[in-house]
Amino acid sequence: MPISTKSLGRCDCADTVAAMQQFTAAREEHTPDEIWLCEHAPVFTQGLAGLASHVLGPGNIPVLPTNRGGQVTYHGPGQVVAYPLINLQRAGYYVKEYVYKLEQALLSTLAEWGVTGHRVAGAPGIYVQLADPFAHAALTGPSPSQDPFRGLGKIAALGIKVSRHCTYHGVALNVAMDLEPFARINPCGHAGLQTVDLSTIGVQTTWQEVADVLARKLQIYLAPRGPASPLHLND
């Protein structure tokens, strides 16, 4: 049976984080998994590893401390945010594989519009080649003296939390946004990292179309693999 999806529409980020925490704390062994889809009003969210120095000048946009992994990112209108609430022990895979599956769902979603997404080692999320986002060539690794993000733009961010084997927080895919606020931070802790959306690379689509495809891809990639062996995950 597919993981159920719930559309929250435009919702407050702090309220949504609190709701995810409450859902996760109240989960029982047989509580069904869910995927929450939403869009947030402008907000910077800071992960547990976040450094204040990466918030350059937030202006009138609030900064929300959260308990997800990672550094600072921006959420705003025109961005599809997906929060998978998954019991990893029941699903039968570990955290590292879960992150891989999230990224694979994002890559597959972008491919629906002919966009080739890429991973960058040590930098969770998905990137595109700015010179040709539709090229199929694999990335060539930079030399030690080169910027690993040279020629790349980040189109999707990822940050998760695992509590009692259960996930919350998730991924954000940029569709058609005001990208200016990303210049007020070092996105995900990387100074000068360019952020893009589908609109700026030439893809004309709607928030709802992307949300529907991403939900379907997450349902596919996050489906349980069968009877699970016990996992030992840090809270």
Active site residues: 188
Matching residue, tokens 């000048």: 57
Residue 148 DSSP symbol: T
Cα–chain center distance at 54: 19
Residue 113 DSSP symbol: T
For residues 49-82, b (16+ Cβ closer than 10 Å) or e, as one string?
A: ebeeebbeebeebeebebebbbbbbbbbebbbbb
- Cβ atoms 9, 38 nearer than 8 A: yes
Token pair listed for 28:
């029982």
- Cβ atoms 126, 106 nearer than 8 A: yes
3-class DSSP state of 64: strand
Q: DSSP letters of 176-196?
A: S---GGGGGB-GGG-TT-EE-
Cα–chain center distance at 147: 23
For residues 156-179, b (16+ Cβ closer than 10 Å) or e, as one string?
A: bbbbbbbbebbbbbbbbbbbbbeb
